[in-house]
Amino acid sequence: MPTPVKLSPLAKQVCYILTGGDTAYCNFRFGAQQVSQAKFQDVAWHISVGAIQVTEMPSGTETAAEYYPCTAHPDKKATLQVKASLNQADHIAASNVIHEATHAMQDIQRLILAQEDAEAAAFVAQAIYFHYHRFPEAPVTGDSASDAIMEVAFDIASANVGGFIVDPADEERLRKIILAHPHYRSNIDPVFKYRFPGVAIPP
Of 9-17, 84-92, 117-125, 150-158, which segment contacts Zn ion by CB under 5 A? 117-125
Q: If we measure between CA atoms, which residue out of 12, 82, 76 comes closest to residue 47?
A: 12
The nearest distance, CB 119 to Zn ion, in angstroms, is 5
14's CB contacts (< 8 A; 6+ apart) are 44, 47, 54, 80, 82, 86, 97, 101
- 84, 32 Cβ separation under 8 angstroms: no
Please work out the total of residues on this chain that contact Zn ion, with binding judged by CB under 5 A: 2
The nearest distance, CB 151 to Zn ion, in angstroms, is 16
Q: Closest CB to Zn ion belongs to which residue?
A: 122
Q: Which is nearer to Zn ion, 48 or 166 (CB)?
A: 166
Q: If we measure between CA atoms, which residue out of 124, 115, 121 comes closest to residue 186?
A: 115
Of 36-44, 68-76, 114-122, 175-183, which segment contacts Zn ion by CB under 5 A? 114-122
Q: Compute the distance between CA of residue 182 and CA of residue 188 in angstroms, rounded to an integer.
A: 10
Rounded to a whole number, what is the distance in angstroms from the first to the last CA of the chain?
A: 7
Q: Which is nearer to Zn ion, 48 or 96 (CB)?
A: 96
What single DSSP character describes residue 186? T
Q: Which is nearer to Zn ion, 107 or 170 (CB)?
A: 107
Q: Which is nearer to Zn ion, 182 or 203 (CB)?
A: 182
Which region holds residue 29: left if phi is over 0, alpha if psi is between -120 and 50, else beta?
beta
Of 12-20, 53-61, 82-90, 119-127, which segment contacts Zn ion by CB under 5 A? 119-127
The nearest distance, CB 93 to Zn ion, in angstroms, is 15
Q: Which is nearer to Zn ion, 48 or 95 (CB)?
A: 95
Q: Which is nearer to Zn ion, 53 or 115 (CB)?
A: 115
Confirm or reject binding of residue 149 to Zn ion (CB under 5 A). Answer: no
The nearest distance, CB 18 to Zn ion, in angstroms, is 16
Helix (H, G, I), strand (E, B) or coil at 102: helix
Confirm or reject binding of residue 98 to Zn ion (CB under 5 A). Answer: no
- 127, 92 Cβ separation under 8 angstroms: no
Q: Determine which residue in the list 15, 101, 122, 124 makes contact with Zn ion, applying CB under 5 A.
A: 122
- 89, 51 Cβ separation under 8 angstroms: no
Positions in the binding site for Zn ion (CB under 5 A): 119, 122
